[in-house]
């Protein structure tokens, strides 16, 4: 209703704009055309305000792009009238978006629960919930160099070849990039290849991208031969992939002591802050940020994601199993709706 109070002011402004005292000429057709356009824009803004209570803003990891698309479709089928807006980022870049005061964020889904712990709690969030697992793989196409030769016993040498181009995501922006560093360092330890991690990670640095899904187009176009990528994403896109052993793929919770032997330094929320990250089995986490404008709608979506016959069933079909054993330090503060 407040918008209607502006109409006399708009009308007066337009009259002055389209009336010339020198010529005493007024162009009514132009006046009413512009007035109609302004009224349309005002009505659109008014209507958007009415819909805000039914709009959910989700920021999610790039590796969750396809799962989130299906989760949102199923959720909106169950909740007619709800509008969901999504943004895909590397999880760390996404966390920085959540921390940005100008960004709407009702739900944040990260490829690594520790991103929420390290970058959002306690200032921007109060808890996290684990909701999915994954594992790392080496992904390629039929056109990749040595595609017919690469296997679990020689991938280290294949990636080091000068005529092979491989890609990975940025550890400062994306957990997949961190996990790639972990897998390469674990391979060095496992096979006694001193210097391998440094040699491989210093190769093809021009192909490092903000998030792992940015690499898929480069791979499919033939600009890259291999990329480090989550197995679930490879399956979803119908790509060939080399399965790494459990000792390297960061997918086996029983090997957390082994994974924990490697670490790396990455940027924190602020440019001058660094975080020491240690290897562990993959756990995706979600939270409702403090800044959520629609916390009740956010709770409904989170409950949907966690429901074994709804969200969890969708995630499993897309290659991500539920988290079965996890000691969550925030169990006592997680909202009752869970």
**CB of 211 closer than 8 Å to CB of 310:** no
Same domain? 95 vs 110: yes
| pLDDT tens per residue across span 9-51 | 444 444 444 444 444 444 555 445 444 544 444 444 434 443 5
Same domain? 261 vs 140: yes
Same domain? 69 vs 174: no
Other C-beta atoms closer than 10 Å to the C-beta of 236 total 18
Residue 121: enclosing H or E segment and its boundaries? none
- The rounded distance, in Å, linking the Cα atoms of 60 and 66 is 11
| Residue 196 belongs to a domain | yes
Whether the full predicted model's pTM is greater than 0.85, yes or no, is: no
Same domain? 144 vs 235: yes
- The rounded distance, in Å, linking the Cα atoms of 28 and 31 is 5
Kindly report the CATH number assigned to the domain that includes residue 253.
3.40.190.10
Same domain? 190 vs 244: yes
| pLDDT tens per residue across span 134-157 | 999 999 999 999 999 999 999 999
Same domain? 31 vs 124: no
Same domain? 24 vs 95: no
Same domain? 125 vs 75: yes
| pLDDT tens per residue across span 225-260 | 999 999 999 999 999 999 999 999 999 999 999 999
Range of the domain at 223: 136-267
Instruction: Go through 164-180 and write b for each residue having 16 or more CB atoms within 10 A of its CB, e for each that does not.
Output: bbbbbbbbbbbbbbbbb
Helix axes 28-51, 7-17, angle to 10 degrees: 150
**CB of 279 closer than 8 Å to CB of 182:** yes
Same domain? 203 vs 256: yes
| Residue 234 belongs to a domain | yes
| Residue 66 belongs to a domain | yes
Structural domains counted in the chain: 3
Residue 269 vs residue 147, higher pLDDT: 147
- To the nearest 10°, the Cα dihedral for 85, 91, 92, 93? -40
- The rounded distance, in Å, linking the Cα atoms of 222 and 214 is 14
Same domain? 38 vs 71: no
């Amino acid at each position: 209703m407040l918008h209607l109070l502006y109409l006399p002011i708009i009308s007066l402004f337009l009259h002055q704009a389209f009336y010339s005292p020198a010529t005493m000429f007024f162009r009514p057709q132009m006046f009413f055309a512009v007035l109609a356009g302004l009224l349309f824009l005002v009505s659109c803004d008014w209507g958007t305000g009415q819909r805000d209570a039914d709009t959910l803003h989700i920021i999610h990891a790039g590796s969750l792009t396809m799962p989130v698309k299906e989760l949102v479709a199923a959720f909106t089928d169950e909740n007619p009238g709800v509008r969901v807006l999504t943004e895909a980022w590397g999880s760390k870049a996404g966390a920085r978006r959540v921390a940005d005061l100008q960004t709407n964020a009702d739900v944040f889904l990260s490829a690594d629960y520790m991103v929420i712990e390290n970058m959002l709690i306690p200032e921007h969030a109060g808890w996290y919930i684990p909701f999915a697992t994954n594992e790392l793989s080496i992904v390629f196409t039929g056109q990749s160099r040595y595609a017919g030769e690469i296997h679990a016993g020689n991938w280290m040498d294949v990636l080091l070849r000068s005529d092979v181009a491989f890609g990975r995501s940025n550890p400062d922006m994306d957990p997949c990039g961190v996990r790639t560093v972990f897998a390469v360092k674990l391979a060095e330890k496992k096979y006694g290849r001193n210097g391998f991690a440094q040699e491989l990670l210093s190769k093809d640095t021009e192909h490092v991208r903000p998030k792992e899904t940015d690499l898929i187009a480069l791979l499919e176009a033939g600009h890259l031969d291999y990329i480090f990528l989550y197995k679930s994403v490879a399956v979803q896109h119908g790509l060939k992939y080399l399965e790494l052993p459990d000792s390297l793929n960061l997918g086996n919770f029983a090997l957390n002591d082994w994974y924990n032997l490697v670490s790396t330094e990455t940027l924190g929320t602020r440019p001058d802050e660094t975080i020491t990250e240690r290897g562990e089995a993959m756990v995706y986490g979600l939270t409702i940020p403090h800044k959520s404008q629609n916390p009740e709608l956010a709770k409904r979506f989170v409950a949907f994601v966690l429901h074994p016959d709804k969200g969890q069933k969708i995630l499993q079909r897309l290659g991500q199993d539920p988290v079965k054993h996890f000691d969550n330090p925030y169990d006592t503060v997680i909202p009752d709706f869970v």
